[in-house]
Chain A
Amino acid sequence: MEGLGLLYNGFVNSFTLVNLVACFAGALIGTIVGVLPGLGPTATMALMLPFTLKFGATTGLIMMTGVWYGAMYGGSTTSILVNIPGEAASVVTCLDGYQMCKKGRAGAALALVATGSFVAGTIGILGLQFFAPVLGNAALSFGPPEFLCFMIFAFVLLSNLSAEAPLKGALMIAFGLFLSTIGINPMDSYPRFTFGSEKLMLGIDFLPIAMGLFGIAEILSIALEKYVKPQINKIRFRDLYPSREEVRRSVYPTLRGSILGFFVGLLPGPCTVISTFVSYSLEKRLSKNPEEFGHGAVEGVVGPESANNSAVMGSMVPLLTLGIPFAAPSAIMLAGLRMHNVEPGPMLFTTHPDVFWTFIAAMYLGNIMLLVLNLPLVGAFAKIAVIRPQILMPIISLICLVGVYSVRNSIFDVWVMIVAGVVGLFLRKWKFPIAPFIIGVVLGPTTENSLRQTLMMFKGDVSLVGDRPVSLTLLALAAAFLAFKFAAPLFGKKFPLKIEEDSKL
């Protein structure tokens, strides 16, 4: 196969010292950035762009993808250990990962996440390697109506995250969607709900909200609990690594998450974040014990974390095959490539095929590097979980404060985080599910833009959607899910009707 020959060339190219160092450096920096709350991969990549310009286009691309990739690895660390999402795509990992940590399974969670990310990354790279051109064209056929239908489908799919309290969940989604409209609308530059405030015109950033609702709320919640010295003071070796049962349960979610994440990565917008939610929701539906989700179900940890790693690779497909950056980090990479006069897009395979193949080869290597880097650290990180909250929480609080400030140099963001934290505490007490709120904030912009553009395209005539097979398929899927949900009780399936006392959703 011609492809394999080119791939071999790619491996040869990537084994240059420069490329290997770039890959490792990127992955390392990315992991650290992912662990740190606040600083995200996009900002880091933007800062690194001038450095990478000194090297070639391929090296730069390798380094920056390494950062993005590493951030997906690292982000889950703080999510699991202290319920603080290191960056946006790790929010979902907080739900069950932190619960696993509280049960003493932190090491297991971290190890499974690292391996899952490795598997997902490999599958993602394979997908990129073999299916890139085909998928690129498929991505093009997704227009505003298809996105709108996908949003509808996503909302239906994700509705099971609030199955215990559907009304409250619906309110949360609506409120989250509303928050995302505050600011200047990107389509028509119209300021909404800003009341003249310059700060509000920039919109409310998602990360401070997520950190507040999860991290700060948890800190406040712990402060309110009476501290009980845990029974287990020493970390046993067994706790560091997953049990056979946990490994067995992780296999399918990892695979599902990898494939799902790759396809979600093809979409525009915050694809990595969306992939985690979709994966979590899917795992919850497929699980034989959905009640366990929110209390430390290992499927709810490895599925999303695998998904966000392969979503990075999925996101590279439109970038490399169409030259279109669908996610913010992709835009930075596009800038890097164009600075070297490498124009990604359909002509990339003709003009600069070596860029593509060297990149793929380097990603395989990078993936292995990250696994080797992260697995031994699992033990060290797991020890952090045992530190007394009186010591750990103040440290974490300050890191969050500074971290959030550092993203946009914005005091407003810090206020948002604190307010979200206090509100989040009360929301938990009043049994409002928080995940739907985050979904609303994340999916808001894409939903509104798709809706408006679809209406404009159809000039108000919604029946025109009948001309579009992809949209119809998505709508049919959504309808099928809804029907199943309402029809299932008729077939004897039980649904939890009461909210658990300490459900973290």
Chain B
Amino acid sequence: MKRLFIAVASVLWCLGCFSSGVAQAAEKYPLKPIVFIVSTEAGGDGDILVRSLMERVSKTLGQPIAIVNKPGAGSSIGSRELHAAKPDGYTLGWGSAPLITAKLQGISPLDHHDFTHLGGYATFFYIVISSTKSKVQFNTIQEVIAYAKANPGKLNMATAGVGQGWWLAAMSFLGGTGINVNTIPQPGTAAMVVTQVAGGHAELGVLGLASAKGMIDSGQVKFLATGGEGRVAAPYDKIPTVKELGYDASFESINIVMGPPKLPQEIVTILANAIEKAAREPEFIKFVSERNARWAYIPPAQVVPVLDKSRNTLREIMGKAGILKEAK
């Protein structure tokens, strides 16, 4: 009898400690370092921006945020891992356009509806560059389109890996201008694309401005057009947008922070506030424009509607490019 009593008492006592521990944990979140999964390569455009953002967030939260890069398969490897993580607030992740399209392409069964959203902070747009070393060279984007229409399938265009953000951008460009080129997907995102174009192995390339900046400034590649809603700031303000030239080929990738599904509300609030505070810091805003992206804070509640709108555009683009395959 005495033993039974002791057993029950100790179980109850443990439960008490446990539950008070849980309550404590929720109050004082975060208690330990947070892992942040970035589903693109280190050093890439999206990666740099989110590192800067998370550095500020970690100052607010008082805990280090360890950034882990898990690129691959159009960001779906990283997204899958984030989705499977425990919703305790200690694993968070990054998202961008490929998050929406991975499902449309049949690469992943997940899309932006399957995660808890913590806010969006910037938008990336693409640019088109051309080589100064290839056999055929171009000075303006109109020349490119004219040549491509006259010689379908002849030009080589280096793009990011299939399913990646810049690959989607390339598809938008091709679909919107209606030209037919030989696309050569590169492993990874932007680094290899600019290498191929700078080396003359491909006549054209589609990627983000940040990765190509060094090559453009030194004259190794030519900056022909931008695929954003508006022109880029000086010194590139002379470069036209594909939109103003009459092509429905704009593509923008919204970068967001997200967490596994069913993240508790208290944690979401703490994180969303920290992220908003970090995103609105003037230094961060300056950093975003220095990295050639457009600052745009989106509160968590609006992330899904904004991405849904984006998805409709992307669905059209992909349909035209013939790669629309709803996931199983």
Contact = CB atoms under 8 A, between A and B. Distances in A.
Contacts of B64: 50
A191 B163 CA distance: 13
Contact of B195 (A140, A184, A332): A140
Q: Please indicate which of the listed interface residues B42, B68, B220 has the most CB atoms of chain A within 10 Å of its own CB.
A: B42
Interface residues of B, number: 56
Interface in A274-331: 322-325, 328, 330-331
Contact of A202 (B48, B68, B77, B188): B77
Nearest to B214: A345
Contacts of A445: 187
A456 B183 CA distance: 8
Contact of A322 (B43, B214, B291): B214
Nearest to B162: A188
Interface stretch (A22-30, A334-342, A369-377, A429-437): A334-342
Contact of A189 (B55, B66, B162, B211): B162
Contact of A331 (B42, B77, B195): B42
B161 A344 contact: no
Given A335-B48, A346-B218, A143 B43 contact: no
B72 interface: yes
A453 interface: yes
Contacts of B214: 322-323, 343-348
A322 B67 CA distance: 25
B199 A141 contact: yes
B196 interface: yes
Contacts of B41: 331
Contact of B217 (A201, A330, A346): A346
A186 interface: yes
Nearest to B76: A189
Interface string B193-226: 0111011111000000011011101101000000
B231 interface: no
B47 interface: yes
Interface size class of A (residues with CB under 8 A): 35 or more
Nearest to A187: B185
Contact of B199 (A140, A325, A344, A456): A140
A332 B43 contact: yes
A46 B36 CA distance: 12
Contacts of A53: 55
A488 interface: no
Contacts of A421: none
Interface string A6-48: 0000000000000000000000000000000000000000110
Contacts of B51: 49, 335, 339
B127 to A, nearest CB: 16
Interface in A473-498: none
Contacts of A244: none
Interface string B28-61: 0000000000000111000110011001001000
Nearest to A456: B184
B228 to A, nearest CB: 20
B73 interface: yes
Contacts of B200: 140-141, 143
B137 interface: no
B68 A46 contact: yes
Contact of B48 (A46, A189, A322, A338): A338
B74 interface: yes
Interface in B266-306: 287, 290-291
A47 B69 CA distance: 11
Contact of B220 (A186, A328, A343, A346): A346
Contacts of B48: 335, 338-339
A312 B51 CA distance: 25
A324 B161 contact: no
Given A143-B199, A189-B73, A325-B42, 4 more contacts: A186-B161, A189-B107, A268-B192, A449-B187
Interface of A: 46-47, 49-50, 53, 140-144, 184, 186-191, 198, 201-202, 268, 322-325, 328, 330-335, 338-339, 341, 343-348, 445, 449, 453, 456-457, 459
